[in-house]
Structure 1
Amino acid sequence: MKSISCFLGTFLFLLAFNNFGQVKNIGTPNLKNYKRTEYKGGTQNWSIDQDKNGNIYFANNSGLIQFDGSTWRRYSLPNNTAIRSLKIDDSGRIFVGGNNEFGYFNAGDKGDLKYYSLSKLISPKDAKDINLIWRIHVFKGEVIFQSFTKALFYKNNNNKVRVLNAPRKFQFSFVVKNRLYFQDKVLGILEYKNQKLYSLKGTKVLNDKEIWAMFPLPDNKILLATLEKGLFVYDFNSITEWNNEANSFIKKNTSLGGAIIKNKFIVLNSVLNGVIICDLNGHIIQHLNRQKGLQNNTILTSFVDNKNNLWLGLDNGITFINENSPFTYFDYSYNIGTVYASVLHQNKLYVATNQGLFYHHWNTPFSDEPFNRVEGTIAQAWNIQVINNVLVCSSNSGALVIENNKVSKILDTRGYFGLKQIPRHPEYAIGEHYNGFSIFKIGSDSAEFINQVQGFDETTSTFEVELDNDYVWFRKSPYLYQMELSDDLKKFESIKRHTRISLVNKGIESLQLINDKVYFQTKNHFYRFSNDQGDFFEDRKMSSLFKNIPLINTVIQDSKGNLWYSFNQSLGVLEKSDNEKYIRKEEPFSNLTGNLVNSYISINRIDSKNIFIGLTDGLTHYDATIPNTFITKPAVFIESFSFPGDTIITGNLKTIDKLFNLSYSDNRVKFTFSSPVFENQENVTYSYKLEPFEDTWRSWSPVAIKEYTNLREGNYTMKLRARNSFGIVSEIDQVKFTISPPWYRHFLAYISYLLLISLVIYVISNRIKLKIRKNKYYETIEQRRLYLEKESKIRQEQHELEKEIEKLKNDKLQIKILAKDKELVNNSLQVVKKNKTLNTIISKLKDIDTSILDDATKSEFNKLHKSIVKEVNTDKSWKDLEKHIKNVHFDFLKRLKEKYPTISPRELDLSTYLLMNMSTKEIAEIMNISNGGVELARYRLRKKLGLNKKENLIGFLMSI
């Protein structure tokens, strides 16, 4: 009954192995080395653990190292000693131990880790000889710090430390299957139960050996890993040596402990030769050392994270190993470079590379050794194929037959890209070389070159060739050649060049052989050629398979019928199920993006567990039977939130629902992001948006930092999401914060503004009312003044009007006087003329001789003469004329006199006569001077007035 129970337990145990965890025994897993220059710490890393957020912690010579996928942080102990051990409990506290110091780090209010010492909780006597804390365990509600001299038990609920002294001297301690063990140098292995130590039977035989690790084995056994003496199995009765290849390796290279992967695989650290992973039978599945990519061969500690990936703490550096992946790699450490093709033949895996053809024995299990070069292949090998059981390599050196790991025959020295069997001639193959095509005859035991195919000599390094029953199809962008071979295979009887295969979908992207039929593809639409119609037609069933797939450029069908396709330098597959349906897979291959060999996609499917894919830097092995449990949704954190003068490490806070309040002077904020995704970390991208500052998510970017400046006051929410290398998007992480307005836009400021405005309104209102009253008073006074002024003005106007009326009357009278004066002047002039006439008559009467007259006539003559003389002498018209002329032209004479004070009265008279437009003769008569005297007077007047010869005297006088 007991044996049945043990068998059932073992069966369930092994069943669990198959469901969880996977370590591949072929190739090398993807690994990443972190140097001291990256994590900025000391050399040796002694212990590793992980918190609930996925952050990794290292006990380092320079202190505690934290890594969140983006940023490394270092925290020191108060005495700046090295940290040799660490353990994280469920609450997130990071317990650490150093030299005479132990305690824990915990996140403060702002997320920065703060150290809390527990060594002060023990007595000074116990504190003297603590020495180095080598192990820390969380066991049954207590945290146990173990040094060589004592074990210190800390309970958080009472914040006390209980001391357990070593019976003799402790070596190390271990927790296995919820049981706590100590190794004592004298008493052997001790189990701790009920606060006491109990010696285990048969364990003293190891007193001279340092046990560095204990692992659970089936059948209630424990595997003990010692430093220099190898591996032992303890069944709680006796200890026996574990005789297997893992033990041989440890004996040779010594052990520094290890880890266990899902109770299925054991990781064993070595001092001299890296790390091995073995199964529970001690068979080495994987061996990683400096030659395989590790930066150091001394492994101080190993740790399996929450995704079953492996971390190594090295003597100098840190290494991450992506164990939880269906992919492993053959790179430069296996002597291979860029891979163009691979094939399995006669229990050997052949790989065509840029450095020649290489092979590796196909053993079960696969031996971990480099590939060997096929003798005679040093040039670039484009293809390796098995045709009629003959292995043919197409290389830069020609078409080569490979036998017994060397070139047995050179079929043709021209460079070849590959061969294709001719459908109607199965023993013949057509090979495309650098200048056309050749025919080869390949039988089951022989191969030979037949002839060059005449009629086509195109040269290219990027092309595709497929054959059907009727034609050789050759694609060289942008053309598709349809060539018909002659029956004797010596020439192409016809060659037709196509520039399109569809009127709707332009271009010819690829041609491929699927289910022994040649398909032509453009924009994910697949066409075939109809001989009957002489044209291309679309295979809608095939096109529908690629309807929702990104635009492809290559399709390859493997031995099972799966359809592999490349797009955007990435790879995908439509896996064919038993019911003839296809299942699309792209996510597992996203890690290969950018590493595929463009135009030479190589897929070699041996079986579901062994699929080889060519890469630019080697060969990858893919196990399709491993479930996609490694593809998980990533976590993302706003790692830090900083602003001038302060930084909040939100990634360490247990919750960030808190609303952060920032002053307006801190309106420049910066965020850093992290996603504890360590596999293909360089392909992790972030997208974010700051609401309400941004309405849409920013495009995906690997940059893990963002800064905003000059933000206005208000409530903000920073939202972040991450996308891993498989294209899986995380949940949203967010931080809320408020920026207070500046003091002049603060709520209290607005209240002050309101009160101030109210006060100003009140004061202004009162002043306005007072002003209105004053204005009314002054308005009444002003109206009274205006009334009086108006009344005075009316009186003044009335007085002025009366004066004006009086003036008008005077002016009217003066006008009448002037009119009379003008009339008198005219009359006087007539009288003057009359006097002139009478003087003429008197002059003529004097000339009459009166002696001849009789007395009576003479008497009458004298009377007449006296009468005329009297009339002339008694006439005062001239004086009246002068008076009237002066009256009429008084204003003119006044202006002339004011303007020219030196002018004489005689010249004033002359000016008046000239103004009256009198002739020289008239002026001469009036002024009783000669005509020459008048001209002389005019000349003198012009001179006194300052006129030149060209100026008109009369016009000048009229302008005055």
Structure 2
Amino acid sequence: MRFTKFHLLILLVTTALCSQVKNIGLPDIQNYKRSDYKGGTQNWDIDQDKNGNLYFANNNGLFQFDGSSWRKYNIPNSIAVRCVKIDNSGKIFVGGYSEFGYFKSNAKGKLVYFSLSKTINKSNLKLMDFIWKIHIHNDEVIFQSFERTYIFKNKKIKILEAPKRFQFSFQVKNHIYIQDISMGILEYKNGKLFQLKNTAILNNTEIWSMFSLPENKLLIATLNKGLFIYDNKKIIPWDTEANVFIRKNSSLGGVVIKDKFIVLNSVLEGIIVCDLNGKIIQHINRTKGLQNNTVLTSFVDSKNNLWLGLDNGISFVNENSPFTYFGFSYNLSTVYGTALHKGNLYVATNQGVFYHSWNNSTKEDTFKLVEGTTGQAWNIQVIDDQLFCSHNTGALLIAGAKTIKILDNIGYWKFMQIPNHPNYLIGSNYNGFSIFEKTPNGWQFKNRIEGFSKSSGSFEMEGKNIWIKKDNLAYRMTLSNDLKRFESIKTYQDLSETVKGIGNIQQLENKVYFQTNNHFYNYSYEQNLFFEDKKMSDLFANVPEINTLTQDKYGNIWYIFGESLGVLMKTKTGNYKNIVSPFSKLTGNIVYNNLSINTTGPNDTFIGLTDGLAHYDSNLLTNYEAKPKAYIRGFSFPGDTIVLGNGQKALDNYKIPYASNHVKFTFSSPSYENLENLEFSYQLEGFDNQWSNWSTNVIKEYTNLREGDYTMKLKARTNYGKQSEQTTLNFCISPPWYRHFLAYLFYISLVIASVYFIRKRIKTKIRKNKYYETIEQRRLYLEKESKIRQEQYELEKEIEKLKNDKLQIKILAKDKELVNNSLQVVKKNKILNGIIYKLKDINVESFDESTKFQFTKLNKSITKEVNADKSWKDLEKHIKNVHFDFLKRLKEKYPTISPRELDLSTYLLMNMSTKEIAEIMNISNGGVELARYRLRKKLELNKKENLIGFLMSI
């Protein structure tokens, strides 16, 4: 334990000294390929303007990056740009082959190039060659090539020839140094060069950078001779770790971070970051995340993050982050647990337990596999100053680089000391729980605990009670005094009748808590019930719904919500501060179902990830308190584009023609630490009623805007939750010509003239209408009078017709009545004929004369009545009168029909029976049927058609 405390003290001191650059793990690195910025190979120089835009001198031109988009700018006569420097006024000075000058934004933000080299009379000069360095010194701009130096001051250029041939120049503090291949290092002062004593020793090598050291010393980095110290008298090698690295890998310059750390670029192995004593803090190369090992230039931006111009590509190193990482370059995979033990950092992964010496810097070596631990390791714990490993193959004891003892041969999850039993451990395994005992020969497996055989990944102890969550149930198991069995096992599905379910079980402040929906409960053993701890629940009232949490040894409570991490950081006053935003970068990378948090110091926490291990230094979080800046970077519409943030004056209510009412905005924020999680919110005042939702979109378009005044408002938010101040852009869309003020005047005049003209026309028309109305009324009167007369005449005709119809109806009624009477007469005659026929059968010879005379007289009288009756002829006549129209239509339709058939048709129409027809027509019933058949045939009726119905339809 003494060693561990000593280690923690070293760690704290190192962190305090470093204050920014961490020697623990690697910072986050973002690589930009040539295909991202569509440029050439080799990036030679980098600078940043006051708005945060970055500029890269590339073989294919000058590239600008604002965090959202890349823009390319060319200079005449030279494709390649070798150097770039920005002054306080926003001028971007550049140099290329035989060309140098500056870019300056015009009123619309477009960078326009102004050549300075054209102002030189080149007839007296030899080849200008490449401009390699630019320095802004006092009120001068110095352009340095190998042949000479051009000094731009007061709009004039002064030429300073090289004594022999320049190499490179450097600006250190407020001094300008230039190397000459014959005179060594020269200092530029007041337009002249002064030789530094005893520096010609470096004439046979190239100097690529110079840095300021304490006590007015200079650190000189050469291409292939290493690092040297110059104390104004002599040059001596810098005997440090950094010099060993540079002598081996060659130097290509470097940069200083906050006057505390020196970044040294190399040809073969990326970069190193060392302190002012030459101790290497970080080494970053291709293996550790760079896309290229040759670093041509390095630059520290306004937030003290590092940009590297590579031989092929650009890299961003997030040195200002509280996070560093041990990933694939350190030979780590998914991490389930960590532990510091006797000078080593141990990491439990899905491939085994790995270790790294913690006394030495972790900048170089990878983690090595602990012998005998290949396979899934679930946990690594320091208990009783020994290292216990919960492994898929068993319970292991580890010392140094190997497994020294296998305590049990089944898979284990976790170990814990039993309260009030310091010599006993309990371990959860794939088959339940086991007890381990400390003996004079060390820790030994003692026994399995009987009564429970389920696999339990996590458990908590409270006295003799063990709590676990399994299969949506909470188990409370009470250990026997001999630790061999569970005296009782009880299960709980709900916390109460109203609070359903149990989310998880964890120990906080040495108490076992049961949590569901961010409400925390304790268990009362006396009352056998759960009761809520209001204080703890209130602590999580404003925290997203959690699923896992753990408390470190400093009292900080780490929790998982979704796939994200947060922490309630305990303050000195005993309160808690909720911190979530910094950990958004780890979202989706946390092993959320097996949370691994190991806080080894007040500001040092190791977090297990799905692809390695993260180190979190909360002391560096203060660097992220500053608000980001939001820029409306581009404002375009058909016919024009305005680029903002390039140093031009702000637009003041820019006017857009109505034909160009389709506008597009592009956003940016120079917050390069985590661009993928940088979010924007906007509102177009005059169109949008409220701010938009936060989004990573950097482009917004509006189409078919109406005329009027608009204000585009923009805010940015970093992944640390910090919001920028509001940025605004005012513009006005002119109305179309038909809605212009002059157009409305024209419309009003036109309306007045139209009203006058229409009024005059209406008056004229009214007079004409009155004249025509009089004539029309006269015409209508005459027409009406004529119509009345015509109606009167037609009415009289109608009355006469009605009278005739009424008379005809009476006649028809009489005819029908006569027909009926005639039918009765026919029946009477038929009866009389029957009587006559029967009288013939009477033998009158038997009668006396008187009776015989009376009988004969009666017979003659009846015969006379029958022969004298003309009812049948009258019947036929009246039948024809009644059905004249029907017989006429039938005859017209069927000309071949006979009179006899016409009579039959009439009788059928009158609905007379076959017997009645037979009597009238004086034929038999069979004759009537035969007549009907012949009539159907003549009328061409089929068997299914009804004859009477057909006749009635005619």
Cα 1:313–1:775 shift into 2, 3 Å: same
Question: Residues 170-215 of structure 1, C-alpha deviation per residue, up to 9 Å, x if partnerless?
Answer: 2112222212222222222222222222222322222222221111
Per the TM alignment, residue 503 of structure 1 is displaced from its structure 2 partner at its CA by 4.9
What is the alpha-carbon distance in structure 2 between the residues aligned to residue 233 and residue 308 of structure 1? Answer: 25
Q: 1:19-38 counterparts in 2 under 5 A? A: 22-38=20-36
Match of 1:600 among 574, 594, 599: 594
Q: Tell whether the 8 Å contact from 1:464 to 1:510 is kept in structure 2 after alignment.
A: no
Where does residue 709 of structure 1 map in the other structure?
A: 703
Match of 2:147 among 146, 149, 172: 149
What is the alpha-carbon distance in structure 2 between the residues aligned to residue 554 and residue 951 of structure 1? Answer: 108
Where does residue 321 of structure 2 map in the other structure?
A: 325
What is the one-letter code of the residue matched to 2:127? D
Q: Tell whether the 8 Å contact from 2:78 to 2:98 is kept in structure 1 after alignment.
A: no
What is the one-letter code of the residue matched to 1:32? Q
What is the alpha-carbon distance in structure 1 between the residues aligned to residue 597 and residue 270 of structure 2? Answer: 32
What is the alpha-carbon distance in structure 2 between the residues aligned to residue 292 and residue 88 of structure 1? Answer: 32
What is the alpha-carbon distance in structure 2 between the residues aligned to residue 295 and residue 527 of structure 1? Answer: 52
Question: Residues 334-381 of structure 1, C-alpha deviation per residue, up to 9 Å, x if partnerless?
Answer: 111111111111221111011100111120555631111000111110
What is the one-letter code of the residue matched to 1:154? F
Question: Residues 433-473 of structure 1, C-alpha deviation per residue, up to 9 Å, x if partnerless?
Answer: 1222222224575122222222212236xx53001113010
Where does residue 446 of structure 2 map in the other structure?
A: 450
What is the alpha-carbon distance in structure 2 between the residues aligned to residue 444 and residue 304 of structure 1? Answer: 59
Q: Tell whether the 8 Å contact from 1:100 to 1:127 is kept in structure 2 after alignment.
A: no
Cα 1:741–1:502 shift into 2, 3 Å: farther
Match of 2:458 among 451, 456, 464: 464
What is the alpha-carbon distance in structure 2 between the residues aligned to residue 333 and residue 657 of structure 1? Answer: 49
What is the alpha-carbon distance in structure 1 between the residues aligned to residue 587 and residue 600 of structure 2? Answer: 23
Q: Tell whether the 8 Å contact from 1:60 to 1:84 is kept in structure 2 after alignment.
A: yes
What is the alpha-carbon distance in structure 1 between the residues aligned to residue 360 and residue 542 of structure 2? Answer: 40
Per the TM alignment, residue 592 of structure 1 is displaced from its structure 2 partner at its CA by 2.2
Counterpart check, 1:184 vs 2:171 = no
Q: Tell whether the 8 Å contact from 2:708 to 2:733 is kept in structure 1 after alignment.
A: yes
Query: Based on CA coordinates, which of the two structures has the bigger radius of gyration?
Result: 1
What is the alpha-carbon distance in structure 1 between the residues aligned to residue 196 and residue 750 of structure 2? Answer: 87
Where does residue 563 of structure 2 map in the other structure?
A: 569
Q: Tell whether the 8 Å contact from 1:275 to 1:287 is kept in structure 2 after alignment.
A: yes
Match of 1:663 among 657, 666, 675: 657
Matched residue of 1:329: which SS?
Answer: strand
What is the one-letter code of the residue matched to 1:343? A
Where does residue 41 of structure 1 map in the other structure?
A: 39
Q: Tell whether the 8 Å contact from 1:100 to 1:129 is kept in structure 2 after alignment.
A: yes
Where does residue 905 of structure 1 map in the other structure?
A: none
Q: 1:202-351 counterparts in 2 under 5 A? A: 202-351=198-347
Matched residue of 2:346: which SS?
Answer: strand
Counterpart check, 1:86 vs 2:84 = yes
Cα 1:703–1:443 shift into 2, 3 Å: farther
Where does residue 824 of structure 1 map in the other structure?
A: none
Where does residue 107 of structure 1 map in the other structure?
A: 105
Matched residue of 1:313: which SS?
Answer: strand
Per the TM alignment, residue 253 of structure 1 is displaced from its structure 2 partner at its CA by 1.2
Where does residue 677 of structure 1 map in the other structure?
A: 671
Please identify, of 771-780 and 694-703, the stretch whose mean Cα deviation from structure 2 is larger: 771-780
Where does residue 71 of structure 1 map in the other structure?
A: 69
Match of 2:585 among 583, 591, 599: 591
Per the TM alignment, residue 62 of structure 1 is displaced from its structure 2 partner at its CA by 0.4
Matched residue of 2:35: which SS?
Answer: helix
Where does residue 838 of structure 1 map in the other structure?
A: none
Where does residue 736 of structure 1 map in the other structure?
A: 730
Counterpart check, 1:436 vs 2:456 = no
Counterpart check, 1:170 vs 2:175 = no
What is the alpha-carbon distance in structure 2 between the residues aligned to residue 101 and residue 496 of structure 1? Answer: 85
Counterpart check, 1:551 vs 2:549 = no
Q: 1:289-688 counterparts in 2 under 5 A? A: 289-363=285-359, 365-366=361-362, 368-443=364-439, 446-459=442-455, 463-503=457-497, 505-626=499-620, 628-652=622-646, 654-688=648-682
What is the alpha-carbon distance in structure 1 between the residues aligned to residue 305 and residue 879 of structure 2? Answer: 134
Question: Residues 292-315 of structure 1, C-alpha deviation per residue, up to 9 Å, x if partnerless?
Answer: 111111110000000000010011
Q: 1:825-836 counterparts in 2 under 5 A? A: none
- Scaled by the length of structure 1, the TM-score of the pair is 0.79
What is the alpha-carbon distance in structure 2 between the residues aligned to residue 432 and residue 442 of structure 1? Answer: 17
Per the TM alignment, residue 786 of structure 1 is displaced from its structure 2 partner at its CA by 7.8
Per the TM alignment, residue 151 of structure 1 is displaced from its structure 2 partner at its CA by 1.6
Cα 1:691–1:367 shift into 2, 3 Å: closer
Per the TM alignment, residue 399 of structure 1 is displaced from its structure 2 partner at its CA by 1.0
What is the alpha-carbon distance in structure 1 between the residues aligned to residue 25 and residue 755 of structure 2? Answer: 87
Matched residue of 1:626: which SS?
Answer: helix
Matched residue of 2:749: which SS?
Answer: helix
Cα 1:444–1:669 shift into 2, 3 Å: farther
What is the alpha-carbon distance in structure 2 between the residues aligned to residue 933 and residue 556 of structure 1? Answer: 128
Per the TM alignment, residue 697 of structure 1 is displaced from its structure 2 partner at its CA by 2.1
Matched residue of 1:84: which SS?
Answer: strand
Matched residue of 1:749: which SS?
Answer: helix
What is the one-letter code of the residue matched to 1:507? G
Per the TM alignment, residue 607 of structure 1 is displaced from its structure 2 partner at its CA by 1.8
Gaps spanning 5+ residues in structure 1: where? 1-14, 812-887, 897-910, 921-929, 953-960
Matched residue of 1:458: which SS?
Answer: coil
Matched residue of 1:248: which SS?
Answer: helix
Per the TM alignment, residue 769 of structure 1 is displaced from its structure 2 partner at its CA by 2.1
Cα 1:932–1:216 shift into 2, 3 Å: closer
Counterpart check, 1:750 vs 2:744 = yes
Cα 1:135–1:443 shift into 2, 3 Å: farther
Please identify, of 677-686 and 639-648, the stretch whose mean Cα deviation from structure 2 is larger: 639-648
What is the alpha-carbon distance in structure 2 between the residues aligned to residue 555 and residue 319 of structure 1? Answer: 36
Please identify, of 773-782 and 715-724, the stretch whose mean Cα deviation from structure 2 is larger: 773-782
What is the alpha-carbon distance in structure 2 between the residues aligned to residue 534 and residue 236 of structure 1? Answer: 82
Per the TM alignment, residue 502 of structure 1 is displaced from its structure 2 partner at its CA by 4.4
What is the one-letter code of the residue matched to 2:345? L
Where does residue 131 of structure 1 map in the other structure?
A: 129
Matched residue of 1:700: which SS?
Answer: coil
- Percent identity between the aligned chains? 54
Per the TM alignment, residue 57 of structure 1 is displaced from its structure 2 partner at its CA by 0.9
Per the TM alignment, residue 643 of structure 1 is displaced from its structure 2 partner at its CA by 2.9
Please identify, of 256-265 and 532-541, the stretch whose mean Cα deviation from structure 2 is larger: 532-541
Cα 1:781–1:146 shift into 2, 3 Å: same
Per the TM alignment, residue 951 of structure 1 is displaced from its structure 2 partner at its CA by 7.6
What is the one-letter code of the residue matched to 1:251? R
Matched residue of 2:309: which SS?
Answer: strand
Matched residue of 1:69: which SS?
Answer: coil
Q: Tell whether the 8 Å contact from 2:408 to 2:445 is kept in structure 1 after alignment.
A: yes
What is the alpha-carbon distance in structure 2 between the residues aligned to residue 594 and residue 364 of structure 1? Answer: 32
Where does residue 829 of structure 1 map in the other structure?
A: none
Matched residue of 2:537: which SS?
Answer: helix
Q: Tell whether the 8 Å contact from 1:329 to 1:621 is kept in structure 2 after alignment.
A: yes
Where does residue 772 of structure 1 map in the other structure?
A: 766
Per the TM alignment, residue 482 of structure 1 is displaced from its structure 2 partner at its CA by 0.5
Where does residue 848 of structure 1 map in the other structure?
A: none
Per the TM alignment, residue 163 of structure 1 is displaced from its structure 2 partner at its CA by 2.3
Cα 1:937–1:70 shift into 2, 3 Å: closer
Where does residue 840 of structure 1 map in the other structure?
A: none
What is the alpha-carbon distance in structure 2 between the residues aligned to residue 127 and residue 664 of structure 1? Answer: 55
